[in-house]
Structure formats: structure tokens, C-alpha cells
Structure 1
Amino acid sequence: MPIRLPSAARSLPSRARRIVAAEQIAAARMLPLRPRTVVYESFAGNGALCNPEAIFRALLADPEFADLEHVWAISEPGAAAALKREFRGVRNVRVVRRGGAAYWRAVSTAGYLVNNATFPPAFGKRTGQVYLNTWHGTPLKLMGFDMPGGAMESANTLRNLLAADYLLAANPFMTEVMYEGAYQLRNVYRGEIIEEGYPRIDRQRLSDADAARLRAELAGSVEAALDGRRLVLFAPTWRGSSFQSPDADLAHLASQAQRLQEEIGPDAVVLVKTHQVVHGLARRIPALARLLVPNTIPTNALLGLADALVTDYSSIFFDYLATGRPIGFLVPDGDAYAAERGTYVPLDELPGPVRTDPAALGRDLAALLAPGAEQHPQYATWAERFTPYEDGHATERVVDVVFRGRTEGRRVRRPARDGRVRLLFYLGGIRMNGITTSAVNLLNSLDPERYDVTALMALPRGETTRRNQQRLNPGIRQVFRIGGMNGLKIRQVLRRVADVSTDPLRAHRRLGHRTLWHDEWTRIFGSAKFDWVADFSGYSPFWAHLMLHSPRAVRAIWLHNEMAADRERTVAGRQPFRHSLGRVFAMYRAYDQLVSVSPALTELNRVELAAYAPADRFRTLRNLPDAVNASAAAAPPADADIDVDPDEPWRVALRAPGARRFVTVGRLSTEKNHARLVRAFAQVHADAPDTQLFIVGGGPLAAALREQVAAAGLEESVFLTGPQADPISIMRASDCFVLSSDYEGQPMVLIEAAQLGLPIVSTAFGSAEGALPGDAMLIVERDDAALAEGMRAFLGGGVPPTTLDVAEYTAEVLAQFDVLVPDPE
């Protein structure tokens, strides 16, 4: 039986609630589907509204569907109570509280799901369910990836759209600009788009009896006298930017309505339709309450009754175009809004007068409402473009497709395929490290004409990870894993135990864990299909396992280091990768390509990991560099505008004249062996006291290194800068780059140093040979004396500057990448 969430659990911390919800979902998913049950949800449970409501009422009234059970998910108590009153005694209509145990049971077992927005992150569609997402309007405002910061904001929306079997579009604009473009469904979405108009707009075609009933309901709900006057509906968007002072803003709304009324004249009455979330607040303001339309009246029924509409950026006006009646746009912040949020169409091209002053707009509307007045000159063009299918029968056609399976003669299509190869990269936690840098550089360099690129990431939560996420080109589809894997807690525990104690690939086949992984993949990606998928991170057993559950594709995993050595790495007496990398290694045999980042590293990994994968699966793809400006007059460092202490010792030392400076950049961890570098520098500095060493980076060994520097008496010449947003500026001010690592992959800092033209001295880690094109880098043995000699060789003029033809190098790497990827289907 499903696990019920007791009322006391509603006050649990959010993580605990997610765990309980996951248990509820897991239990519900073990129940059989109920093919004749339909679950409806609108605006995260705000009420029985919009397209889902229109579809619900059509199905309920059709004898052919008398056997359907209808379940509404509602979170707003007043809306739930009203719906229960209306359908009291109707056995096949019930209401569940959104987020409760009954909700998850309904969502997990219903044969049909209808939503105009999004189900929560924990939702994952089961095989056999039919999911129709109707969305809630043609957008004027930028949506999805077109919005500033839209990739993260759209995470759950994209997840829901990819999961849907059907998406509803009122017009071709929604299909092409919003679904295919703004939400980047082109190429990867495998469901169908129904382009047949909006069911909710059918409700605008009122009979005389319906119109009379609505007017009577309005007359009993507002203080303003309706008499026989025409109705002007004022329905502005609520943008959520001013909830800190809602009363003042709503009072301003009342003032705008009053000024509209004064200019439109006594033959019409202005009524106000507020956003649902502020309706209760609006009722507290007397000047507004007398004009306020009750939320119980469906918006599209109001549009059918209204003689004119005033709005700002709301998609409500697209629906109203189907009436042929006047629209006015009141946009006092139009310029700022267009600049900050953005619109798909310039405001001065809208199908009605656009004003910043309500009095001026009132005069314009009075003229448009006058007998014999002509339509606004752009109105007919907009109506033809955005409401071409609104003939009052959109609901019937949508029901035909979704519930009857009739597509003949219906406008149903899949998103366009443009022939590009569909790539998916898991990028890891996108922290500030070489893996993130190389991933961003590679993805940003791929040919957008040849490749359709998707980046999968954990949801960025800190400033650094958000900054890295924002470095990706806007054309790259970004998918974030939000929420967690569903499944009974005991099954999750057994999965983890089996993954650790046995071969993870055999465990999931033998113990039935395959379903958990499959469900998680579909929870994130729906039915999306890729041609080539890559775990670019390469260190996490969870992600290595998950990527193997993509639908059929070529699968690659990155080996950024000498992985056998990395597995044995010791940090503070512990081996953090001992078990996790062992589990990753066990999955190598299921990958088609094991990609190392230099030729020498490929050979090392091929030999050292021979027990885990055939030799022919080991491939090479070098890292790509950031474009680095070698000029000393380059742009200021990234932290130039933040509060830094210019008298910090390392900053003062970097400005001191006459010093010869060594620099290294990297995480302060065991494999980098900075302790060796400090010891070698001590030998050099004893003979050349004008030398300095700058160690840029942070990590677990920072405190130990500071102690070592102090014990050696080098505090005036060795400087630990900590992690820096712009290490290039420190490298640019230095004379020689030095690397003291025991093992590496292909260090990004070597490529950056080469672009700067710095001489480079490096220890002979396993893949040092070939880490850069050419042989200008001086490679020495991995011991203190040899490293000191290498640094002395630089001081004596024996280490020439390195050079790197970035364009030639990039072209070579991208040609290597093309070899990895299959031709498109």
C-alpha cells in the first residue's frame, strides 16, 4: 500500500519531505495503472483552470467517455472547496491535495495526465501513461532559454515538456518559437505537437444565455454598476517584482483603472482581473475591490463577455484576438521591461494602441469602441497569425487526438529534425577546475551546424558553479538534474550496497536495479534521444551508471588522468577515490569509447586498465584552451571590481621590480606535489635570492604548505595566493611556469602558459611527453634536485619560451572529436 504523509509531516524540512514523497511515489509506482483515470492540474494546483478545465468539461459531458474517472490536483483550499461543491454527488469526479499521498498515487497510476504547467521535480512518467501538456498561452515575453538566466529557471519545465507525449500549440508560433526554439526541443523531443488551437478559447464563444448569466454573476460580485454598459476588462500581468509592497502597487493599479474609466466614458465600465496570487490582497483595497472580478469566473468566459481588453505583457491578449474586439496595452515600464526580460515582438508592433499613460490609452480605447470605428491596423494580421484555428472546436480536435487516437485530418507533427548529430555531455559539478574548463571550452568550440549539443549538470548552487554554467554558449541545451531518484528507500539501500560490494553492472541485472536507473533517466530526459552520450566528468559511479541507461547511442567516458594512479591517491591519510573509481572502472566495459586527454595518457591508461576494457576502446582527445591574451596590457583581472586588499603580501610582491618569478597554478592536493616544488625552489633561491615563487590555487594541503614555507624561512619569497578568479593575470606577470606533479592528464594550465609564451619546466609525470605540441617544454625527473636544476636552467637562459598556434591546435582537436562521433542517422 502507498505510504501516507501524515499531516504533521507537512512541517518537516524540505529534504525530509522529499524523502517521504519519494517513498510515496515509489509505492504508488508499484500499483497497476488505471487506464481510464485522468489527472488534471493547472498552475501548480491553483484551481480547475485553463485548457485542462476545458478538456475536463468536454470529456465529462461526452457519453463516449462516461467510464473515465476525473481527478483534479488542487492546492488552493478555496478552489478545491468550490470544485467539490459543484460536483457533489458526481461519483467519477474527485479532488486531491497537490503534493499529498493521494496526489502521488493518482499521478503515478493514472492512464492520462493533463497539465498546463509542470508536475513537480519528483514526477517521472511511467510507461503506458499518456501525458498531454497544454501550456498556458502564446508568449509575448521571452521564454525558456531565450530569457536571461532562462536555462536554470526552465529546468523543470524542460523536463516536463520532454516527458510529454503531446504538447499543445495554439498556433505555429508556439510550435516553432516557443517549443522548438525557446525550449530547444528541436531534434531531441520524440513526442508530438498538436497544433489545433486552444480549448480554453472555445469558452469565449458565449451563447446569449451564458452571456446573460455571466453579467448577472458579475453584477452581484462587483460594486460598480453594470446596467447595460459595455465592459472593459483590465487584466495586467503580475510580474512578482514588487511583492515587498503589494498594497502600494495594487493601489496604483486602482488609480490606473480609475484614469482609464474617466477617459473611456460613462458608456463603459472598467473591471479589473488580477493575477490569482494577489487576488486576496486586491480585495483589501476598497478602491480596487469594487472593480474586482471574482476568481471563480473563468478567464476565457470573461474575455468572451468583454467589449475591450487592457493588458500589458500577458498572453491573455492572444486569446482575445479571437473575438475581433479592441485591445489596448498599458506599459508604463515598457522600455525597461523589454530590456530586462525581453519580448518576441517590439511593443510598438502590438495589435492595439500602446501607451505608458492610462489616460491616453483610455482615449484611444474610447475611439476604438465608437460606433463604426475600424480595427487597429495590425489587428487582422495578428489574429490570422496567432488565432488561425479558433473556430470553437479546438477542444473536440484535441480530444480526438489524445483520447480517441484519431490523427487523420488533424494538425499533429513532431518537432523538426535538422540532421545534426545529437550529443549529450555530463559535465559533473562544474566546480572551478580543469575538467570544467576543458568541458566548457570543448562544448563552446563544437560546430553548431554539425552538432546539436546538450549539457547535463547538477543544479548550480554557488556563485562559482553558476558562473561556470553561464560560460556555456546559449545555443547549448542545458539540462539539470533536479530532485532525486525515486524508489522505495530499502531498494535504494540495496542498490547502493550492491554497487559497492559487487560488480555494479551485474548487480543491476541480477537484483532488478535496472528499473531504478531506467526510471531516473526518463525522469530527467523523458523520451529524449541522443546519438552519442559522454560522461565527461568520469569520476562518479552514479553518473557513469546513469549514462549507460540512455536509449541506444554511442557511449563515451573521459579519463582525465592516469586513472590507476588517481585511484590510489592519498589525501590526509585517506584514499577518497579508492572505492568509487573501482566501481567506475567496473563499468568501463559497457562504454564504447574511453577517452584520455593526451596520446601518452591514452597509452598509460590502455596498459594500466587493460583488465577493464579492450585495447581498441581507448581513444585520445586533447583538451581545448581558453583564449588567453598574452599582452601585459590585457583586460584587468576578474576580481578588479571587487573589494580586494592591494597590500596583501603576494600582490605587493607581484608588483616589486627586479624579481624573477616562478608560478604554478593548480589544486593543492597530493598529486600536484607542491611540497617538492617548495623544496626545489628553496635550493634555487639560496643561489638566486632575487627569485620568487607564486603558488595559485586552493585545496586540502594549503595549511601544510604554509607550514612548510614558514619552516623553510621562505615567507618573503614563496606566496600562496589561494584560489583566484583570474590566475592568468598572475601568470602574465611571471617569468616561468613550473609544474611539479607526480601524475596528470593534460593540464589546462600548460596550454594557457604556452599561449602566454612562458618558458615551462615540468616534472616527467606519465603523460608529460606530448602534453603540448612540439618539444619546447623542459621535462625533468620527479625529484627535488632535478626540478631545481630545471629551474636553474631557466635562470641561465636554457629554457626558451613555449609557443602554441591556437587556431591550428584547435582545428586538430576538433578533427579528433569528429572521429569519435558517429554520422547522423
Structure 2
Amino acid sequence: MKKVKFVLSPMKKYVLDGGFRGRVLYTKYLEKKPLREKTILYESYHGQSMTGNPYAVFKYLIHHPNYKDFQHVWVVQDYSVIHDEYKQLRNVRFVQKESSKYISYLATAKYLINDTTFPYYFQKRKDQIYANIWHGTPLKTMGIDIKNRGKTDHKNIQRNFLFTDYMVSPNKFTAEKLLHSHDAYSIFNGKVLDSGYPRVDLMFQANKEDIKKKLSVPPDKKVILYAPTWRGTLGNEKDESEKLLKDIQYLKEQISSEYTVLLKSHYYAHKFFEEQGLAHLCVPNMIDTNEVLSIVDILITDYSSIFFDFLPSKNPVIFYAHDEEEYQKERGTYIPMDQLPGPLCHLLDEVISAINNSMTIMDNYRDRYKKFLDEFCYHDDGNATSRFVETVFEGKVSDKLFQTLSNKTKILIYCGGFLNNGITTSVTNLLNAIDYDKYDVTVLDYGDNDKQEKWNNVEKLNKNVRFIHRVGTWNATLSEWYRHALLLQRGAYSSSMKKLLPKKMYRRELERIIGNTPYDIGIDFSGYSPFWASLIAFGDFKKKSIYLHNDMGQEMNKKVNNKYPHRQNLKVIFSLYNYFDNVVSVSKLTNEQNKKSLNKVVKNMDRRMKYVINNIDYEKILAGREEFSEELVINFKNKHYMLSISNDHHNHLELTGYRIPDEKDINFINIGRLSPEKDHEKLIAAFSHIAARHPNTKLFIVGDGDLKKSLLELVKKLKLEEKVIFTGQISNPYALLNKCDCFILSSNHEGQPMVLLEALTLGKPVIVTDIPGSRSVVEGGHGLIVENSIKGLIDGMEHFINGEELFEKQFDYVNYREEAMKMFYETICLMENQIG
């Protein structure tokens, strides 16, 4: 039955899931179909129109004798946007977005021209040429610069930029803002063509008489164009559109009859106006905006980039930002609104007054206008399209090309889910200590927006770290899907399975995520995800490493709530270790233990299996020890509690609190995830004996996890509710750790416990069970190692209570960190002695 399900599942998905079927078809074209050398695919505003920069390039090429034998393919959402004059041309084709024809041309057209983005499954072939000519100089913030945004909303734009060969820009400001705001500046492997926007040429070249006829504007009338940014949201389109209608009607009533007022609106507003029978007030979407600008005498806008395109006309611009305060709070602008080259109005009556005094606008704003022309419009001479064609199609050398790719060693690293655990602490410390003058670091991420725990931890990272968030899913053939499914079932242990590994699928997926950026070093720092392990194992790197944060044999057999959470995943990952140059444990003794556990799995073990000790951020630890705030301490039922923020909902806070240790007590503390390998049950059982003998003892348990409920029940059963304090997760555990007297770790297996290093940095006495990971930290006189049993823990706590010294020498955390970074650079980053 399982075999039948295995065979039928992808076939069923292929039949029922159009998206899956499209990706299989796209992959087939990528792998099997040759490029169409003289075919150009154009896409403007996701196929919603034939306008903008792609349209300007198309108009130039369609009439150019050197390109008469080229095939021009336009992507459209609906055939109604097609211009009549191009419908019958033999060398122009129209394909609907997401159709099989679209997928075919996206995979096989030699030239790709877009002013937004291609879909998530797009990945540029080696010999395709992708020119992204973005749709405007940004006044409003973009990508990660937007104040209130989803953390990963920019991910498909970033991905498209990383595939781009030519980012065509009207000015250096635009290229820099687009690349920086999409976290791509130093990893962008294409070229910036700073040569001006082709679409601005259309304003110079348009037949004004013809445009006025199309828009039913009398020849003797002056034109005011109102072109606001869309600020509505899905679901409240009507409210935004109704305001626009009222504004337009009021303008028409109040201004002189010498003017005709036109509205250039967003798709949703245009649809509303059509439904009201008022479409004549709007500029049709199929007429190019820059051609419309050729007849405009006064432009009214707000945060739209349209005014940059309009400036070369040297006509007045009025900025009507009725919601500026709210807009700046919610999104923001790169240039303060009161520094723009025209009057800033917040009321419609102010706009009308400015229109009535339009003759003085140019006088009043002459210097600012010139400054903007010099800074943003220095290429706007009507020849931007020809410069674009000469560079992109004819390969002419241009002094207007530049690159932003850094020459630093580039590291691509998967860190895990950034949950509250030791792996997150370890990788945070590492990424905050790397020398960013030498290394450019990119973190791979699943791109989910919904885990606040994750984003709280991400905020702690060095700001030089960039993220690439995965969007979408695999491009793969049906054969590759089957072979991948086999790997997830069996691992790659047998020679036959190794031959079946869909290595090309994994390389293709990594490329789909990271684009054309060349990375030197690939690191799977987590070591628990078959997906990321397979991508990095078969990725194109000079050196590849995977981390082992624990005794992996023990991890494979770890049982949580009667389930083995890691068994199947680790079965797959173990079989991939031989495709890495380094299989890296986090301590010497853990490495020795892993060598024993994996001796039948890893080849060339002595060369491949190494160790690099975890890094520590001792400045943060030492600073955190003093963070008890008097203002946040409350007295409740004669006990002192420290309050901490649980959730910040902008308008109200949710607070939690935990007991503060009493100096009269002997306070033991354990910090760690409430997970089986930490064995809090053993610790609590041992402490119950200590509490019976020494009434003034307390045990603080910091952390959260799957076993919290059962541990609370155990404490209740042993009548230790007043003695064992569960604090839950604490954002800064160092203050509490510093207030306690002795740190105790009861784990059954560990890699190299970060909490031990933190306790030692604070000079705390430590007691640990005798396991390799803990022993590697404290042996040599840094703490007391006890038998891994209830009796061992009892003996250790008695030693401390009786005043016996638990350590012989202080922990040198400065020297330790230097050694940790030295090992990382030498083992992970050096490009020599790689395994083939």
C-alpha cells in the first residue's frame, strides 16, 4: 500500500495542482529546450499593461531595422490591454500570465525585460539576459526600509534583483536605494546601468496632439494631472476611491475653466470609477503615463515617483500629502516632503491656491528644482533607450556601468529557526564576532513572518548580516521528485541510492533562492534540516561545512512525548555528511564521541570530522548581569518579582514575572530548554533530597519546552512548589544567573553547552554531570564534574552547600573567544585542503 501511495502521490499532485504542473513544465523547458536567441519577453506591472520602461524599449526596437527579425513577446493579464496597432504584427506575440506559453517563453527567451518581478519559480538560465528596469525613482521607502512591514515581504523582489544582469537606473540614488533596501547591495552580481529610464524618452517623443485626442482633451485646454499613490488596502478599496472622486470633483469645481483635470489612478480606483460611469475622468491604463506627461502643464502628486519623470518638462509640481503624518509613521520617505521641488499642501484648498498661483511656483522653487534635475534627472535627454539597447543588445562598452559586488569572502549560512535554544545563542555569538571587513555573511531562512520568538532573536544579530528568505518551492521534474522522496525515506547509504540522488534538483533550488551571487563558503550551522543540508551539500561552494551540536547518536534516539523527533531527519542527514568538506562538532570530546557514533557513516573521518568550539559574547553577558531594574520589581504576597515584557501590542503590554532570589537562601539555577536530554526530572529528584536536608535552598529553572507540564506535575507531586521556581523563557537570563549562587547542569548529552560558558563568564561555581560536552568545558579546574545520576547531583550540591571550592581557576573568556574565532577562520573559512 505504501508503495502504491509513493507512486501515485506526485502523479495525483501533477493532475490536481496547476502550480505544481507549471513548475514541472518550467523545469522541463529549463533543462531540455534551447534558448530562442532572437526572442524578447516583456512584462510590465505584472502584465497589467503595455506601458512603462519595457514599452519604451519595445517601441524603439519594433521600428529599428537592425531588430526586424526579432520576436517580441508581451505578457498580459488580459488581452484588453493590448494596443490595437500591434495586434496584427507577425513578430509580436501576446501570452497570458501563468499560461503554458508564458512558462515556455520565460524559460527560453534570450532577453527578459521587466519593470517589477517575475514569479517565485523564475530562475534565469546562464545565457539568458535579464534587464530589470524598475518602475521609478523611490521617494517612498522600499523593502526592509519600510517602517511597518512584514519582515520578509521583499523576498521575491530581492530574488529577482539577484538574478538581474542589468539593473537599469535613472540615477545612482535609485540603484543604491533599491539594492540596499532589498538587502542585496554587496551580493548583487549583475551590473548597474546608470543611463536613464527609457520611459522618460516617451515624454519627449510623444505626439501631443494625438495624446490629447485619445484623452478627449480640447486642443486649447491646459492639463492638470492628479497622480496619487495608492494608499488603500485590499478590502477597503471603495473608501480610498470615494475620496479620490470627491477630490477630483472639488478640483474641477474650483479651478479655472482653462484647465482640464485628469486622474491617473491605481487599478482598484480605476475599476471603481468605471463602475460609477466616470471612467472618462481617468487616464486609461493602456495609455503610457510618460506619454500623458507630455501634455501636462501642472502635476499634482504625493509620494509617487512620477514627479521625477516629469521634472525635465520644467513645469510646476504640487505635492498634496493630506495624510503625511500618518504616511511617514506607517511607511516613510527617503527625502523629507518639505524639501521637494514644489509646494507641499495638506489641504485641497491649499492645492487650489497653488494652482491659481502656478506662475510663481517655478520662481519660488527654481533652485530646488534645478538641484533635483541635477541629482536625479541628469540622463533625461530623450536618448536613454538607445543607450540601453547599445549596452544590453549590442554589448557596447559603457562608462555608465558599475558593479556593487564586494570582493570579500562570501559566507552563506543556514542557522536554524532562531528559536530560543543553544544553537541560536551560538550562531548569534559567532555572527556578532565575525570580521566584516573580510567577510560578507548571508543567512538563509525559510521566510516565515509569524514567529515573534524568531524575530526577537534575529534583532540581536550584527547589522552587517543580510538575509535571503526562501519564497516559493522547488522547480523539479517528476523523476527528481521521486528520487528526492526516496532520499527522505531511506537516506543515501547504498551505492544505488547515491546514484539516484537528485543533485541537480538541489543545486537548482539553491540557485533559485540565491540567484547569481557566487558564495565561497557554505555552512549548515543547524545540522537538523535535510532540506538545507542537501542544498548546501550539493551547492557550488569552495568549502562546505555542517555542524554537529550534540552527541548525534544520542540525538537520533532522543524520545519526546513517546516520539522520536529527530530520528528520520538525522537518518537522512547522516548519509549526506560525506558530501561536506567538514563535519564539525562543537567541542573536542563531543567530536570524539561523534566519531564513535558515526564511524560506519563518515569516510575519511580523520580529515573530515573536526571541531570548532562555540563562541561567546562576553560583553553582552557582563552587561546583562546588572539589568535588574528597581522600577520593574514588585512585591506580591511578601515575595519579590521581576517583571518582563511578554508581548508588546503597541497600545498595551503583557507582562510576566519571576521570583527574585533571596540572598538568605542558597540558590541553584539551571538554564536550558525543557527537553529530555537536559533531564530536569533527574535534577528535580536530586533537589528534593537537598531541600529536605536544607530548607533554605531554592532551584530556579529557566526555559521552556515540551516537558514543562510534566515537570510542573513532578514538582507538585514532590511538594516543592515553594522551592522550585520555573521562570519560563527570559530575554536576559544573565541578571538572574548572577543573583544565584551555583549553576547546575543535569544533561545526559550535550555538544558544548552555551549556558556553561555563560555561567563561567560570570564567575559562577558550576556542577555538571559527567558527559563529554560538559566535561570539555569544565575539565582542568573550571567546575565540579559529578556522576550522571541523582546521587551524583546530590553529592555535587552538598559539596557546594558545605563550602567546598568547585573551581580551581577563573575562566579566561577573552582568550577563549579569540581561540574560538581562530578555530572558525582556520577550519571553516580557509580554502585549502578541501576534500573532493
User: When the two structures are superposed, what TM-score results if normalisation uses the length of structure 1?
Assistant: 0.88
Change (3 A) 1:44 1:623: same
Alignment of 1:311-350 (within 5 A): 311-350=301-340
> What is the one-letter code of the residue matched to 1:110?
A
1:430 match: 418
CA distance in 2, matches of 1:237, 1:150: 20
User: What is the CA distance between 1:66 and its match in structure 2?
Assistant: 3.0
Note if 1:238 corresponds to 2:248.
no
**In the alignment, which residue of structure 1 is the partner of 2:87?**
88
- Find the aligned partners of 2:68 and 2:461 in 1 and give their Cα distance: 51
* Helix, strand or coil at the partner of 2:481: helix
> Does the C-alpha gap of structure 1 residues 359 and 164 become closer, same or farther in structure 2, counting only changes over 3 Å?
same
- Confirm or deny that 1:637 pairs with 2:627: no
Given that 1:233 and 1:273 are in contact with CA atoms closer than 8 Å, whether structure 2 keeps it comes out as yes
Cα deviation code 1:25-45 (max 9, x no counterpart): 234434413333322222222
Aligned residue identity for 1:277:
Y
What is the CA–CA distance in structure 2 between the aligned matches of 1:565 and 1:817, rounded to whole Å?
A: 25
The equivalent position to 1:516 in structure 2, one of 488, 505, 527, is: 505
What is the rounded CA distance, in whole Å, between the counterparts of 2:760 and 2:280 in structure 1?
72
CA positional deviation for 1:215: 0.8
Deviates more, 1:733-742 or 1:190-199: 733-742
Amino acid in structure 2 at the alignment position of 1:478: F
Give deviations 1:725-744, integer Å, cap 9, x for gaps.
55556545544322100111
Percent of aligned pairs sharing the same letter: 33
Relative to structure 1, is the Cα distance of residues 67 and 266 closer, same or farther in structure 2, using a 3 angstrom cutoff?
same
Residue among 34, 37, 40 paired with 2:39: 37
Aligned pairs, number: 796
Quick check: 2:429–2:617 contact (8 Å CA) kept in 1?
yes
Partner of 1:595: 584
Report the CA distance shift for 1:614/1:655 in structure 2 as closer, same or farther (over 3 A): closer
SS in 2 for 1:482: coil
Classify the secondary structure of the residue corresponding to 1:453: strand
Residue correspondence of structure 1 range 312-711 to structure 2 within 5 A: 312-369=302-359, 373=363, 376-404=366-394, 406-409=395-398, 411-417=400-406, 419-460=407-448, 461-498=450-487, 500-501=489-490, 503=492, 510-511=499-500, 513-606=502-595, 608-609=597-598, 612=602, 613-617=604-608, 618-625=610-617, 627-628=620-621, 629-631=624-626, 633-634=628-629, 636-639=643-646, 659-711=665-717
Q: Within 1, Cα distance between the matches of 2:498 and 2:558?
A: 31
The equivalent of 1:4 in structure 2 is: none
Q: Indicate conservation of the 8 Å contact 1:144/1:151, yes or no.
A: no
Q: Superposition pairs for residues 181-196 of structure 1, below 5 Å?
A: 181-196=180-195
CA contact (8 A) 1:596 1:622 kept: no
Counterparts of 1:561 and 1:200 in 2: how far apart (Å)?
Answer: 58
Alignment of 1:218-297 (within 5 A): 218-219=215-216, 226=218, 228-241=220-233, 244-257=235-248, 265-284=256-275, 291-297=281-287
Change (3 A) 1:513 1:652: closer
**Correspondence 1:215 to 2:212:** yes
The aligned residue for residue 153 of structure 1 is: 153
Measure how far apart 1:408 and its partner are. Answer: 2.5
Distance 1:348 1:29 in 2: 50
Q: Is the 8 A contact 1:263 1:366 kept in 2?
A: no
Structure 1 residue aligned with 2:97: 98
The CA deviation at 1:293 is 2.2
The 1:230/1:459 distance shift into structure 2, 3 A limit, reads: same
Structure 2: unaligned runs, 5 residues or longer: 1-12, 633-642
Listed one character per residue, the Cα deviations across residues 791-817 of structure 1 (whole Å, up to 9, x for unaligned) are 122222335699766655544433443
User: Quick one: distance in 2 between partners of 1:511 and 1:570?
Assistant: 31
Between the aligned partners of 1:101 and 1:667, the Cα distance in structure 2 is 50
User: Aligned letter for 2:213?
Assistant: A
Shift of 1:155: 0.8
2:162 matches 1:170: no
How far apart, in 2, do the equivalents of 1:227 and 1:398 lie? 34
Instruction: Please say if residues 342 and 361 of structure 2, whose CA atoms lie closer than 8 Å, have aligned partners that are also in contact.
Output: no
Aligned-partner SS, 1:378? helix
Letter in 1 for 2:37: P
Asked whether the 8 Å contact 2:507–2:540 carries over to 1, the reply is: no
Q: 1:50 to 1:824 in 2, by over 3 A?
A: farther
State the one-letter code of the partner of 1:275.
H
Task: Decide whether the 8 Å contact of 2:343 with 2:361 is kept in 1.
Answer: no
CA deviation digits over 1:181-203, x for unaligned, max 9?
Answer: 33343442222222221111111
TM-score, scaled relative to structure 2: 0.87
Q: Quickly say closer, same or farther: Cα 1:452–1:119, change in 2 above 3 A.
A: same
Closer/same/farther in 2, CA of residues 645 and 803 from structure 1, 3 Å limit: farther
C-alpha spacing 1:586/1:82, structure 2 compared with 1 (3 Å): closer
Deviations, residues 653-691 of structure 1 (Å, cap 9, x unaligned): 657895543332222222112221122112212212333
Q: Tell me if structure 2 keeps the 8 A contact 1:118–1:156.
A: yes
Distance (whole Å) between structure 1 residues aligned to residue 459 and residue 295 of structure 2:
46
Show the counterpart of 2:824: 817
Question: Separation in 1 of the partners of 2:661 and 2:826?
Answer: 47
Contact 1:52 1:116 in 2 (8 A): yes
Classify 1:206/1:289 alpha carbon distance in 2 versus 1 (closer, same or farther; 3 Å): same
Aligned match of 1:19: 20
Residue 817 of structure 1 aligns to which amino acid in structure 2?
F
Distance (Å, rounded) in 1 between the aligned partners of 2:17 and 2:760: 50
Change (3 A) 1:17 1:465: farther
Separation in structure 1 between the aligned mates of residue 108 and residue 158 of structure 2, nearest angstrom? 22
CA 1:127–1:696 in structure 2 vs 1: closer, same or farther (change >3 Å)? Answer: same
1:474–1:700: structure 2 CA closer, same or farther, 3 Å change rule? Answer: same
Give the whole-Å Cα distance in 2 for the aligned partners of 1:371 and 1:695. 69
Are residue 777 (structure 1) and residue 783 (structure 2) matched? yes
Cα distance change, pair 150–245 in 1 and its aligned pair in 2 (3 A): closer
Distance 1:206 1:358, change over 3 A: farther
Q: Cα gap change, 1:142/1:772 in structure 2, threshold over 3 Å: closer, same or farther?
A: farther
Contact 1:353 1:364 in 2 (8 A): yes
Q: Which residue of 2 aligns with 1:59?
A: 61
Q: 1:645 to 1:547 in 2, by over 3 A?
A: closer
- Quickly say closer, same or farther: Cα 1:26–1:699, change in 2 above 3 A: same
Determine if contact 1:273/1:292 at 8 Å carries over to the other structure.
yes
Is this contact kept in 2: 1:251–1:285, CA < 8 A? no
Deviates more, 1:578-587 or 1:501-510: 501-510
Amino acid corresponding to residue 491 of structure 1 in structure 2: E
Q: Which amino acid aligns with 1:103?
A: Y
Q: Is the 8 A contact 1:505 1:587 kept in 2?
A: no
5+ long unaligned stretches in structure 1 = 1-11, 221-225
Alpha-carbon displacement from aligned partner over 1:554-604 (angstroms, at most 9, x marks no partner): 222222112233233333454443443243233333323333323433444
Q: Distance in 1 between matches of 2:532 and 2:405?
A: 30
21-30 or 394-403, larger mean C-alpha shift: 21-30
Shift of 1:400: 2.4
Output the aligned Cα RMSD. Answer: 3.4
**Cα pair 2:475 2:505 within 8 Å, conserved:** yes
- Mark the CA change 1:774 to 1:307 in structure 2 (over 3 Å): closer, same or farther: farther
Equivalent residue of 2:187, what SS? Answer: coil
Task: Report the CA distance between 1:99 and its aligned residue.
Answer: 2.3
